[in-house]
Structure 1
């Protein structure tokens, strides 16, 4: 049986999480973005929309691996969702909080590759405006929160750090795929 593997992409808004996930999926179909459960409103693409009652049921069952609130919504990494994603391949989980990475790595058994994607605040602003976000100010506030989060967790060990203003999405995907393959090879040796 192959060990469970997954990728965590951490970074501020517009650092390239969606773009690099798309490049990973093109490189190897085993990769698929993990669709977090979203309780709230707004953008539904890339999420499994849920209700407050579903969230309560997951909490009561102990199946919430991590939850956070941002942009007026609650975003949940749930055990049944990660189970299904792992059964299908190697999930790519997008996170913007170090505590979320630690909760996932500590709370769900798998070989998780933690990747820090970084870009400047100015790059986040330019990308957000360029893609037509209506909430660029909130994205910049989230960039600031991500910077503060990193500063508050200097001991966080990253498996890979990628400056997305200098590395193409395709090259980033290759680096991630190669490192995950190396780890799988080392684990089976």
Structure 2
């Protein structure tokens, strides 16, 4: 039996996580963004909206893999959600915290390919404003937090690093797909 493969895209806001995920899905429909459970308000597209009670139940059952709070919401990676995502194909999990990457890789058994997507702060600002975000200042604060997070974890190892100002989304998607194919080949060798 082949080991389950998943992708983690780590990076600051507007580094291209959504765009690269869309390019991966265009390349092969087996790739799909993991819809985190979101407890709070605001944008619901791309999330499974949940309640504080659901969050407590997951935690009590030991099925909460990682949770973080940002933009006055709580974002959850849960084992039942990952189980369903792996049944459907190759989940692409978006994260902006190294602790979240480590919690996922250590807390949910699969072959995770961990990809750092990066762009400079001014590019995050331009992209955020260009897509009409009403909270660009909060996204820049999150960019700063992501930079501090990286600096605090100099030992973090990335399977692939992509500067999204230098590589387009289709190129990044091809690099990620090639990485997964190489890892699957090495696992069967």
Q: What is the TM-score with the length of structure 2 in the denominator?
A: 0.99
In 2: Cα distance, 1:16 partner to 1:95 partner = 12
In 1: Cα distance, 2:102 partner to 2:87 partner = 22
Q: Does 1:71 align with 2:47?
A: no
**2:26 match:** 26
Give the unaligned 5+ runs of structure 1: none
Give the unaligned 5+ runs of structure 2: none
In 1: Cα distance, 2:169 partner to 2:176 partner = 10
In 2: Cα distance, 1:4 partner to 1:29 partner = 16
Q: Does 1:141 align with 2:114?
A: no
**2:169 match:** 169
> How far off its partner does 1:17 sit?
0.1
Q: List structure 1 segments (4+ residues) > 3 angstroms apart after TM superposition.
A: none
> How far off its partner does 1:155 sit?
0.2
The two structures, once aligned, show a CA RMSD in angstroms of 0.4
In 1: Cα distance, 2:84 partner to 2:139 partner = 30
> How far off its partner does 1:2 sit?
2.1
Q: What is the TM-score with the length of structure 1 in the denominator?
A: 0.99
Q: Deviations over 1:121-162 (max 9, x none)?
A: 000000000000000000000000000000000000000000
Partner SS, residue 32 of structure 2 = strand
**1:8 match:** 8
Paired residues in the alignment total 189
In 1: Cα distance, 2:157 partner to 2:46 partner = 27
**1:114 match:** 114
**1:85 match:** 85
